Structure 1
Amino acid sequence: MKKIIIAFSLLLTLAVNAQNQRFIYEYRYSIDSTAKDKPETEIMFLDVVSKGSRFYSKDIFESDSLMTASMEKQLQAGNGEINFSGIKFKGKVVHSVEKTYPDYSVRFFNNLSADEYMVQDERKQDWKILPDKEKTGGFSAQKAVCSFAGRKWTAWFTTDLPIQDGPYKFSGLPGLIVKIEDASHTHSFELKGIKKLPAGYEWKSTKEKERFNALVTVTEAKYRKAFKEYLADPMKSEKQMLAQGVEIQEIDDSGKLVTQDKGKKEKELKMKNDLKKQNNILELDLLK
């Protein structure tokens, strides 16, 4: 992965106005506890505007944009069957997080099989700010700790950037979180760069995007129940759709659409085996 060039010359401007900026984080994670020595990385964007922020994967966003553009082009050409061959799909972190200002309420979006959930997460981090200070990524930062979602976290925040936000669901400190890591050192977010948002950028909530199935809006407690049901039967929602006569298609590694019944048993077995390995997910308390 190419290193992102850190552009902190915007510090003075950001100190005056941290809005309309894209904060670029590197997310390092090991969701399989038996492979802690082989962490994966993904670049994440935290887009900040006056009404709130949105945190999402750079690769997933780019792949979705390419797929949408290709689909629109093929539909305009009158193609009866959409083909995404030639598009290289990247990214593994499919969830995203939105916060609304000034209350910093959290909306979490994630797919469980064929269902997409929007979770209203009312939990807050109970931070303890410590006197420790260090230079992090060119910023003067101070240490804070909290317990959240089954993990103990250590964060470093800077008041040089006057926004009480941070990566993922983290917020509530008197400055931007520039680095945060859990006690097991298997999940961490670190600020790697800052950019102004592109000209004409329009912040749109994920809940407003077009989708085939209705968005499932739940509380954090109900999502926890749905997540456990998903672990027990990861293809439950797809089976229900098939029983209703809905034809489900998905994209294979080459970018071609394939019908759901092709290799269904093999897919279900693989999904269950893969989920068993995911015993160190970010929100560890979901597995309890």
Structure 2
Amino acid sequence: MKKKYLLTFVFAVSVVAVWAQARLGKGEFRAVYREYYLPAPEDTNMLEIDTMYLEFSSNHSVYYSPTRRYYDSLMYEGIRRSIKSGAPFQVPVSGQQMRAYTSTVVVHHYPNNKKLTFFTADLWGAFWLYEEEYPLFDWQYRQESKKIGNYTCQKAVATFRGRQWEVWYTTDIPTPFGPWKFYGLPGLVVYAEDSLRHFRFELIGFERLPAGYEMVTHYDPSEPRNFVKISRERYLKERELFVQDPFGYQVRAMSGNPNASVEIKGADKKEIGKKVIKVVSNPIELE
């Protein structure tokens, strides 16, 4: 049986959940990916698997964890009730929830068609975003093709921030959008893997979205607050601070709550901290 840890958050002053939402217009399609990654490369038995959604139209795309959105709704309601009653807010944290809360959101062509916006969620308690301009990938096309599932795919490779990527895409679905930060290919990414085999993306489903479906970046509570915009360089520095002391970082990052505290029941704080750190100790971008 998987262990569940009970985290109790005690707020000294009233808190409003820190989420933000951007509306991206009508969505046309949803590609479902299975995302594999090794948090600790020295332990190949620790392979993590997540299900991720890529929703897109001709103008925008958003890549996110549906599990994260589900837990966001539970978190918001829990905090709302805690503020109303004055009782501590308790969250049972499973391995699935830990992964969900370190899942980021990537939006292509937002706030305009020259930018990618990365909403960070891998540093507990901190809500940052940073923007990057295209092109990010210098794709090199190969004269190779193969059938993956129901799709005829072509091969492309690229080196990006310390990792070498092999990608298979299909022009059967002609879109430049892909999972994570992948962008600029003439068709949808069906399979992608880095040369170290630490990260892998596999397309496992594809569907047309219902008429009138609107894409959004995040779950939207009634009174959201915006993510704070920073540079990617600043984000990397924040990530280092988080690795040094994840729980201390979380407490300090709770905006407007300098006296917030974290109580962990039924588990060793250092051991849980190690589990959290492993999520960012093998980043997908090495530079």
Question: Could you tell me the TM-score, scaled by structure 2's length?
Answer: 0.73
Name the CA distance, whole Å, in 1 between partners of 2:151 and 2:255: 56
Q: Which residue of 2 aligns with 1:35?
A: 43
Q: Give the 5 Å matches for 1:256-275.
A: 260-261=262-263, 267=269, 270-271=272-273, 274-275=276-277
Q: For this pair of structures, how many residues does the alignment match?
A: 255
Of residues 215, 231, 235, the one that matches 2:227 is 215
Q: Which residue of 1 aligns with 2:282?
A: 280
Of residues 115, 135, 138, the one that matches 1:126 is 138
* Residue type of the alignment partner of 2:108: K
Q: Give the 5 Å matches for 1:1-288.
A: 20-68=28-76, 81=87, 90-91=96-97, 92-93=99-100, 94-100=103-109, 103=113, 105-111=115-121, 112-122=123-133, 124-198=136-210, 200-206=212-218, 214-240=226-252, 246-248=258-260, 260-261=262-263, 267=269, 270-271=272-273, 274-275=276-277, 279-285=281-287
Q: Is the 8 A contact 2:125 2:254 kept in 1?
A: no
Name the CA distance, whole Å, in 2 between partners of 1:242 and 1:277: 20
Taking a change above 3 Å as real, the CA distance of residues 273 and 109 of structure 1, as seen in their structure-2 partners, is: same
Name the CA distance, whole Å, in 1 between partners of 2:138 and 2:251: 41
Taking a change above 3 Å as real, the CA distance of residues 150 and 241 of structure 1, as seen in their structure-2 partners, is: closer
Unaligned ranges ≥5, structure 1: 1-18, 249-258
- How far 1:216 sits from its partner (Å)? 2.0
1:133-181 Cα offsets, whole Å, 9 max, x none, are 0111211110000011321000011111111111000011111111111
Taking a change above 3 Å as real, the CA distance of residues 25 and 64 of structure 1, as seen in their structure-2 partners, is: same
Q: Is the 8 A contact 1:20 1:196 kept in 2?
A: yes
Unaligned ranges ≥5, structure 2: 1-26
Name the CA distance, whole Å, in 2 between partners of 1:208 and 1:275: 28
Name the CA distance, whole Å, in 2 between partners of 1:41 and 1:187: 10
Q: Give the match's secondary structure for 1:132.
A: strand
Taking a change above 3 Å as real, the CA distance of residues 210 and 183 of structure 1, as seen in their structure-2 partners, is: farther
Taking a change above 3 Å as real, the CA distance of residues 120 and 151 of structure 1, as seen in their structure-2 partners, is: same
Name the CA distance, whole Å, in 2 between partners of 1:87 and 1:137: 36
